[in-house]
Amino acid sequence: MLFWNRTQRNGMEGDPARGPLAGRLAVAEPHEKLLGAYRAGDIDSIVEKAHREIQTAVRDYVAQTGTLVNLHTEEELREHLQDFYAQYSVLGVEVVTRQFEDWYFFHELRWTVEARKGPAAGRVFSYHTAEFAEVTVAGLLTAHIGHGTDQIEVG
């Protein structure tokens, strides 16, 4: 079981004209931009959406250890993303499910990637990730934690 206590006093308020879900809808905007950056392999945009001291623990698909990779700064995040996108071309990122509150998002994503190098070069794989990310009132990710399934070859 994973429990995450709210660490911020305030969440994103959003446009009051959007009603009581304004904060959730405000978090949806940086989430959509993040997904677009994942799909495009836009490392600069991904890092730009991260707090400079972002705390990250996600499954390590770069070294294929099956364990979590722990990152503690935007520089470490950038290096990890550079390694990931050097190893894979992202063919697709589909949203399986997502939940927004005014201070976090949760999503399950289905990734489809093509290996760029090594013995798997040219082969296409798919896997799912389930991740939680805390979002500041400025729309930056301060924490990002999750895991994922083993890759399976497709196509």
Burial of 106 (0-12, 13-18, 19+ CB in 10 A): middle
- The answer to whether 30 and 49 are in contact (CB under 8 A) is yes
User: Looking at per-residue confidence, does 70 or 19 come out higher?
Assistant: 70
Under CATH, which number does the domain 20-154 receive? 3.10.450.50
CA distances to 71, 105, 123 from 120, in Å = 26, 33, 6
Confidence band of 1 (pLDDT split at 50, 70, 90) = very low
Give me the residue spans of the domains in the chain.
Answer: 20-154
For 68-122, the pLDDT digits (tens) are: 999 999 999 999 999 999 999 999 999 999 999 999 999 999 999 999 999 999 9
Handedness of CA 69, 71, 76, 77 (dihedral sign): positive
**Plot region of 122 (φ>0 → left; ψ -120 to 50 → alpha; else → beta):** left
Higher-confidence residue of 13 and 146: namely 146
Q: How high is the pLDDT of residue 24?
A: 86
* Mean per-residue pLDDT over the chain, rounded: 92
Residues 43-53, mean pLDDT to the nearest whole number? 96
Proportion of the chain above pLDDT 90, given as a percent: 79
Q: What is the pTM of this model?
A: 0.90
Distance of CA 13 to the CA centre of its chain: 22
